Amino acid sequence: MALTATESATSVTDSFGSAVALSCRECGARYDLGPVFACIECFGPLEVAYDFGRITRESIARGPNNIWRYKALLPVPADVEDLPNMNPGQTPLVRADRLAAELGLRSLYVKDDSGNPTHSFKDRVVAMAVEAARTFGFTTLSCSSTGNLAGAVGAAAARAGFRSCVFIPAGLEEGKVVMAAVYGGQLVAIDGTYDDVNRFCSELIGDPAGEDWGFVNVNLRPYYAEGSKTLAYEIAEQLGWRVPDQIIIPIASGSQLTKIDKGFQELIKLGLVEDRPYRVFGAQATGCSPVARAWENGHDVIQPVRPDTIAKSLAIGNPADGPYVLDICRRTGGAVEHVSDSEIVDSIRLLARTEGVFAETAGGVTTGVLRKLLADGVLDPEAETVVLNTGDGLKTLNAVSGTGVTATIKPSLGAFKEAGLL
């Protein structure tokens, strides 16, 4: 039987490290740490609040070579690295000199999160949710997913000994479906969009059938979302403890962008990096660009859309954190932009050709937006810039399905020369 929010508040405090409460992002109301995600006063989303002790660069450097080196900044127990988890993180920050030269940038890096255990950034957020689920006594891990999260939950549940049952919209890329199913949990496709799947999961949470279930991106969302902060921590540490001048982040729900900004702000407040301006840019596919459209029109309210894009991992038509993305991009002097499916495919190929990084479609979105913002004079070509690739191109092979062999020849040198391949 899962703990109630009240019971968990009195019995699990030590399991969340420096975390002290859940705080409403709208009205500021505070709640005890528990498996709750919405404010009862205003229905605003809850996030984790902390009381950090002294944290130094040296103490972080003594930690393991994964996200748990930052455990003092996360809602996890002190012995988290000894518990069965996927231990993601410490993915490469690739110095992209060839791509920079082609685009006319002075300094460019690609944060390549395809190197995580299930080949996407979702391993970071699921790692947080696993520890919360363990603390609250849940027996089943679940989620609504556009693909990458389903695989991350399946793998993490298998490692940690949970049952898993995940829900996806029908029609996802085959690679993501197979990867989610191979871990032995239940994978359920729902005839509808991601937003339909998410609504169904919210119904299941309120039903006795879901009583012992931890939905990583619903009732565990405040903890789950904190995992994206580790991208900010790693980027700053890998740059020699500094925040980049400009960063381009894909937008699905918008949570990743908001938490990367939160991570940078925490590092600044703790004195771990210099307090200097940085600009945050959001990237969407044109076929699912409600936040970018709101930005273009100067609106504060996000108008939901029905997704129609090859970038299925970003195909959330009603992004919960969209308004917060707008706030951050405005505060930092950034922007939100979108690119077409053809620009996404072209950008996947460009990144692969110049840097040897095979990105999934979300990485094509961020690279495409990088190109567009540069062409439009929005990005500063002299500023240090980081672009995120959040998943492996092997998961979205259909996007570049026209790519193949250069030629088929007989096994002879003459045939090779005749083909004009020298």
- Here the CATH number for the domain that contains residue 141 is 3.40.50.1100
Residue 75 contacts residue 260 (beta carbons within 8 Å): no
Per-residue pLDDT of the chain (422 residues; tens, 9 = 90+): 344 544 444 456 678 999 999 999 999 999 999 999 999 999 999 999 999 999 999 999 999 999 999 999 999 999 999 999 999 999 999 999 999 999 999 999 999 999 999 999 999 999 999 999 999 999 999 999 988 999 999 999 999 999 999 999 998 888 889 989 999 999 999 999 988 998 999 899 888 888 899 999 999 999 999 999 999 999 999 999 999 999 999 999 999 999 999 999 999 999 999 999 999 999 999 999 999 999 999 999 999 999 999 999 999 999 999 999 999 999 999 999 999 999 999 999 999 999 999 999 999 999 999 999 999 999 999 999 999 999 999 999 999 988 788 899 999 999 999 998 87
In one letter, which amino acid is 112?
D
Residue 47 lies in a domain: no
pLDDT of residue 13: 67
* The domain boundary residue, chosen from 221, 239, 267: 221
Instruction: Give the structural domain span for 135.
Output: 121-221
- Helices 322-332 + 290-297 axis angle, to 10: 50
List Cα–Cα distances, 54 to 16, 38, 154, 269, 272, in angstroms. 17, 30, 36, 11, 11
DSSP per residue, 171-225: T--HHHHHHHHTTSSEEEEESS-HHHHHHHHHHHHTSGGGTTEEETTTTTHHHHH
Residue 9 contacts residue 32 (beta carbons within 8 Å): yes
* The domain boundary residue, chosen from 198, 221, 244: 221
Q: Are residues 392 and 246 in the same domain?
A: yes
Q: Are residues 132 and 112 in the same domain?
A: no
Q: Are residues 242 and 385 in the same domain?
A: yes
Task: Tell me the CB-side half-sphere exposure of residue 101, using CA atoms within 13 A.
Answer: 6
Q: Where are the alpha helices (DSSP H) in 48-173?
A: 57-61, 97-103, 122-136, 148-160
In one letter, which amino acid is 295?
W
Q: Are residues 137 and 216 in the same domain?
A: yes
Residue 412 lies in a domain: no
Q: Are residues 145 and 214 in the same domain?
A: yes
Tell me which residue of 215, 157, 173, 299 sits closest to 35, measured CA to CA: 215
pLDDT of residue 1: 37
Q: Are residues 240 and 349 in the same domain?
A: yes
Considering its fold, how many domains does the chain have in total?
2
Distance of CA 192 to the CA centre of its chain: 23
Residue the block writes with tokens 């085959």: 174
The backbone torsions φ and ψ at residue 229, rounded to the nearest 5 degrees and listed phi first, read -60, -30
Q: Give the span between the Cα atoms of 240 and 79, in whole angstroms.
A: 27
pTM value is 0.94
Q: Are residues 232 and 297 in the same domain?
A: yes
Q: Are residues 216 and 235 in the same domain?
A: no
pLDDT of residue 8: 43
Q: What is the pLDDT of residues 37-93, one digit of tens each?
A: 999 999 999 999 999 999 999 999 999 999 999 999 999 999 999 999 999 999 999
% the chain with pLDDT above 90: 89
Q: Are residues 312 and 369 in the same domain?
A: yes
Residue 234 lies in a domain: yes
Q: Is 9 helix (H, G, I), strand (E, B) or coil?
A: helix
* The domain boundary residue, chosen from 221, 256, 271: 221
Q: Give the span between the Cα atoms of 162 and 180, in whole angstroms.
A: 15
pLDDT of residue 379: 98
